[in-house]
Structure 1
Amino acid sequence: MPSTTDSGAVIDWLLDSDPSIRWQVMRDLTDAPEPAWQAERSKVETEGWGARLLSYQDEDGQWAGGSFVPANFDPREWKEQGQPWTATCFSLTQLREFGLDPASDRARRTVESIGANSRWDEGGQPYWEGEVEECINGRTVADGAYFGVDVSSIVDRLVGERQADGGWNCERANGSVRSSFHSTINVLEGLLGYERATGGTPQTRQARRSGEEYLLKRSLFRRLGTGEPADERFLLFLHPNRWRYDVLRALDYFRSSAMVTGADPDPRLGEAINHLRSRRLEDGTWPLDWSLPGRAWFDVNDGPGKPSRWVTLRAMRVLRWWERYGESGLQV
């Protein structure tokens, strides 16, 4: 853990970590040449957290014997211990966050096996055809696009499921007519991944812009009607987010979006940026505020209340992007 506010000490602390963090620090914070960070990224498959998560994979390509929940899941576990996070969909998303090379043989075998063997608990659909909930389908699109799967049919469905206010809500099928921060960020990340992989379509780009407007009009965390925080937890930093929203996840999304489109930072991100700056600890790191209960393969943080490399990595690259272009959107 660094003992100084010097950013170099914080970067050294981040680099003294797992390959899944090191390669992103090299790419996003130190401007290392691509061959260097790609070489580090290749270690995700064979070392550290990536290799450990892959070691838990079933012979049929799944994790924990199920798509969304583990095999032989007892609903009482969810009520008593929290939602389990060990099944295929959450494991794939974590491998994407770790940065497993999608061109590797292991990644290709994994997505092919999942396509052949995994079915959604909800309706028995083949995995890469998607489920019914927008949150789940958004992450499935993000994972599929990253790993080179054709997920265009799920994308088309999501585009058609937008709410009138511009975003998405997993409760739409149950009658909801208002968007959800949680659902919207999951779908936006999926559509961005699809656009990065394929270029997208006019329809997907327009849908993504409308979802971004939903968040921007609310300064990433406020209710549109009252201006009050929609949920105080949106201002706390969580990792892994799973399906949950917070302002740092949203800011990192907008940074990634700008990398794809070349857009300048939107000034409406400013309030969330100021909040992010205010949460920086004296030693230059950022804390993990909370973590989700429930069964997981292993922890990748040191616990709530302690500095988190994952939160710090995301915070530093967001601020680096924001400050590079200035709060007016003009490069400085």
Structure 2
Amino acid sequence: MTAKVPVEWLLDSDPALRWQVERDLLDLPEPTWAATRARVGTEGFGARLLALQGLDGQWAGGAFFPAGYDFTTAETAGQPWTATTWSLSSLREWGVDASALAGTAERLAAHARWEYDDLPYWGGEVDCCINSWTLSNGLWLGADVDGIVDWFLEHRMDDGGWNCEWVVGSTRSSFHSTLNTLKGLLDYEQATGDRQRVREARLAGQEYLLARSLFRRRTTAEPVAAWALRFAYPFRWYYSVLNAADYFRSASLHDGTPPDPRMGEAVELVRAARRDDGTWEQERRHPGEVWFEVDAPAGEASRWLTLIGARVLRWWDGSADGLPNGAG
């Protein structure tokens, strides 16, 4: 399927994206894509974002929101994406080596506090999505985030997933919260090799989404909402079938298991969204302040979504052909 992907267009991009094209679509030798990945901390998006870090280890002076943020503006201006958690998550997802942030874990332990109850940064807070990103970022930077794993195991819903709104009484899982939690638990397994501790919970969370075909209500089989079928990069906290399918690709490769056939309908929705030129469209930009844009405006071809969509289909189709790691 790589013949249908505009590879040269994808390669003409920031190192943060290019190294993933080299690894996930072109199967280039590890020394090749690793050399490109090493440039992320010194060139382009990664270097620009690293340069914006404050002396206290934070970005924009805050943990999840910028210092002094006026919360009354959120409904009209959208959530800002400039504070520490968002910035760290971007750098990690782009492939920046943790050595580029030497001392950051310690500085955040000393200076960063959550907006919720002034809780210490690496201890997490009450929001599943926030705690997932903190778990992943802490594992990456070498912080002590072990307590967050316990928190997730204690806050599973009876239906197998998670919901950030448990704190206001919700007892049913959320697509958004469950997917974001699963990413953190998978990162924990990959970083520590400890499957015993979180594997059961992770598989139960996956089952929550798979039983719903990644986008349907279990009670009525109707699509859960339009947002599940809307593709935009960066993903942020938003759920989509593309975001979920990319997670399941990572989990499948980690577990050494084939794709679950219950994903089939969702994968075909991803395939149907591919345009005739082999690209996927940026359908919207999530509102809110950013340091700088990293992808196309709404309505234009997105390099990031094209990378992600292409590797999902490559994994799915390659597994159907019996090829290793979804190669084809």
TM bracket, shorter-chain basis: over 0.9
- Give the CA RMSD over aligned residues: 1.8
Q: Name the aligned partner's letter for residue 155 of structure 2.
A: E
Partner Cα separation in structure 1 for residue 169 and residue 21 of structure 2: 43
- The residue number in structure 2 matching 1:42 is 38
Deviates more, 1:119-128 or 1:152-161: 119-128
**Contact 1:220–1:247 (Cα < 8 Å) also in 2:** yes
Partner Cα separation in structure 2 for residue 237 and residue 328 of structure 1: 29
Matched, 1:115 2:109: yes
Q: How far does the alpha carbon of each residue in 1:282-322 deviate from its partner, in whole angstroms, 9 at most, with x for none?
A: 11111111121011111111211111011011111111111
- The residue number in structure 1 matching 2:97 is 101
Structure 1 stretches lacking a partner, 5+ long: none
Q: How does 1:309-324 map to 2 (within 5 A)?
A: 309-324=303-318
Matched, 1:63 2:59: yes
Q: CA deviation at 1:97?
A: 1.4
Q: Name the aligned partner's letter for residue 186 of structure 1.
A: N
Q: How does 1:175-214 map to 2 (within 5 A)?
A: 175-214=169-208
Matched, 1:237 2:231: yes
Partner Cα separation in structure 1 for residue 261 and residue 322 of structure 2: 7
Q: How does 1:17-28 map to 2 (within 5 A)?
A: 17-28=13-24
Matched, 1:277 2:286: no
Under a length normalisation based on structure 2, what TM-score does the superposition of the two structures give?
Answer: 0.95
**Contact 2:64–2:115 (Cα < 8 Å) also in 1:** yes
Q: How does 1:150-161 map to 2 (within 5 A)?
A: 150-161=144-155
- The residue number in structure 2 matching 1:303 is 297
- The residue number in structure 1 matching 2:48 is 52
**Aligned counterpart for 1:78 among listed residues 65, 74, 95:** 74
Partner Cα separation in structure 2 for residue 224 and residue 327 of structure 1: 30
**Contact 2:2–2:25 (Cα < 8 Å) also in 1:** no
**Contact 2:232–2:282 (Cα < 8 Å) also in 1:** yes
Partner Cα separation in structure 1 for residue 120 and residue 3 of structure 2: 46
Partner Cα separation in structure 1 for residue 209 and residue 321 of structure 2: 18
**Contact 1:267–1:328 (Cα < 8 Å) also in 2:** no
**Contact 1:267–1:329 (Cα < 8 Å) also in 2:** no
**Contact 2:65–2:80 (Cα < 8 Å) also in 1:** yes
Partner Cα separation in structure 2 for residue 135 and residue 327 of structure 1: 35
Partner Cα separation in structure 1 for residue 72 and residue 120 of structure 2: 27
Identity between Structure 1 and Structure 2 (%): 52
Q: Name the aligned partner's letter for residue 304 of structure 1.
A: A
**Contact 1:163–1:178 (Cα < 8 Å) also in 2:** yes
**Aligned counterpart for 1:222 among listed residues 205, 216, 233:** 216
Q: CA deviation at 1:77?
A: 2.2
Partner Cα separation in structure 1 for residue 71 and residue 230 of structure 2: 28
SS of 1:45's partner is coil
Q: CA deviation at 1:327?
A: 7.7
Q: CA deviation at 1:131?
A: 1.1
**Contact 1:64–1:88 (Cα < 8 Å) also in 2:** yes
Structure 2 stretches lacking a partner, 5+ long: none
Partner Cα separation in structure 2 for residue 31 and residue 236 of structure 1: 29
Structure 1 residues 9 and 179 mapped into 2: Cα distance closer, same or farther (>3 Å)?
closer
Partner Cα separation in structure 1 for residue 232 and residue 105 of structure 2: 28
